[in-house]
């Protein structure tokens, strides 16, 4: 059983978000805004349903799904595309394949040294983000 992804997480590093956004076709103006953001992740599990919220001072994005069940995702406020998404466990990684207009698109989450890792990929561009667990206050 992989370590739980659940909790509230603060971004501590963000490598090649620019390349990933260019691959998605995001405009230069929006890319400049997005590059300045310190995103948070809130990951919850209710029964067999997962909810992943990405939040920032600019926009929020929420997706919910069941592992192994393909679903329709509209990436509202990101690149605004319809994709068919499927999340699976591959070893200790939660992996999502997002099939649509863009080739080789998806993401993976895993825990390493108490940190939440996220790899976002699209058409050969990979963005790596790391989050640390938010201290309770």
Stretch of residues binding ligand VL7 (CB under 6 A), selected from 2-10, 26-34, 64-72:
26-34
What DSSP letter does each residue of 13-77 carry, written as one string? EEESHHHHHHHHT--HHHHHHHHT---EEEEEEETTEEEEEEE-SS--EEEEEETT--EEEE-TT
Total residues at interface with ligand VL7 (CB under 6 A): 22
Q: Assign 113 to helix, strand or coil.
A: coil
Instruction: Restricting to residues 41-100, name those near ligand VL7 by CB under 6 A.
Output: 41, 52, 54, 56, 58-61, 63, 77-79
Binding stretches for ligand VL7 (CB under 6 A) = 21, 24, 26, 30, 34, 37, 39, 41, 52, 54, 56, 58-61, 63, 77-79, 107, 118, 120
């Amino acid at each position: 059983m992989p370590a739980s992804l659940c909790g509230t997480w603060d971004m501590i590093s963000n490598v090649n978000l620019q390349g990933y956004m260019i691959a998605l076709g995001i405009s230069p103006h929006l890319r400049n805004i997005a590059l300045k953001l310190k995103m948070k992740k809130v990951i919850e599990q209710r029964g067999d349903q997962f909810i992943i919220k990405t939040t920032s001072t600019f926009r929020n994005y929420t997706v919910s799904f069941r592992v192994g069940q393909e679903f329709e995702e509209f990436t509202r406020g990101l690149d605004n595309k319809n994709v068919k998404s499927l999340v699976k466990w591959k070893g200790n990684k939660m992996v999502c394949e997002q099939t649509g207009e863009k080739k080789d698109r998806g993401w993976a989450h895993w825990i390493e040294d108490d940190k939440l890792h996220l790899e976002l990929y699209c058409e050969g561009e990979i963005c790596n983000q790391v989050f640390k667990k938010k201290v309770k206050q």
